[in-house]
């Protein structure tokens, strides 16, 4: 299961990525916004996403705001959430391989649709390495979560 959500700044990219994922036969649930709403707030969508990821085994999420950074900051306030701000091929691969990210965050104002599709594809196709050093680091991060 993949969840996707965006505020007004990420709405057009969300709609494009949602169509792309459905065409690739992924199960996608859109958490909003369901229309372009200039007064919406990115924290609302990030909180909703974090809660869904926590309650759904093996789920992944895509959050999109203006830069991706706001969504990432909010999502990472939840234990068990490993949200990664992704902006190039290296960060997309690293998010999966080293960070075992269960959410990626993209910038709707900074990432064009074709690049976003490429980054999404890399993240989805890359397995977590499971190397001891990465597991150890993720365990340390989780100890600091409330």
Whether residue 134 lies in the annotated active site: no
Task: Name the pairing type of β-strands 2-6 and 60-65.
Answer: parallel
Q: Report helix, strand or coil for 87.
A: coil
State the DSSP code for 41: -
The active-site residue out of 8, 72, 98, 134 is: 98
The active-site residue out of 65, 72, 105, 134 is: 65
Rounded distance between C-alpha atoms, residue 128 and residue 121, angstroms: 15
State the DSSP code for 39: T
ω before 24 within 30° of 0 (cis)? no
Task: Give the total residue count for the chain.
Answer: 146
Whether residue 105 lies in the annotated active site: no
Alpha helices in the chain (DSSP H): 11-23, 42-55, 69-75, 89-97, 113-125, 132-143
Rounded distance between C-alpha atoms, residue 141 and residue 120, angstroms: 24
Active-site positions read 65, 98
């Amino acid at each position: 299961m993949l969840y996707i959500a965006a505020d007004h700044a990420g709405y057009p990219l969300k709609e494009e990525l949602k169509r792309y994922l459905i065409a690739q036969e992924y199960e996608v649930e859109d958490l909003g916004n369901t229309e372009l709403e200039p007064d919406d707030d990115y924290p609302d969508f990030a909180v909703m996403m974090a809660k869904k990821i926590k309650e759904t085994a093996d789920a992944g999420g895509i959050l999109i705001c203006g830069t991706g950074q706001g969504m990432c900051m909010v999502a990472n306030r939840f234990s068990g959430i490993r949200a990664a701000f992704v902006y190039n091929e290296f960060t997309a691969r690293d998010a999966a391989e080293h960070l075992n990210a269960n959410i990626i965050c993209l910038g709707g104002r900074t990432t064009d649709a074709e690049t976003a599709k490429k980054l999404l594809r890399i993240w989805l196709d890359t397995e977590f390495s499971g190397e001891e050093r990465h597991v150890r680091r993720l365990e340390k991060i989780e100890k600091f979560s409330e």
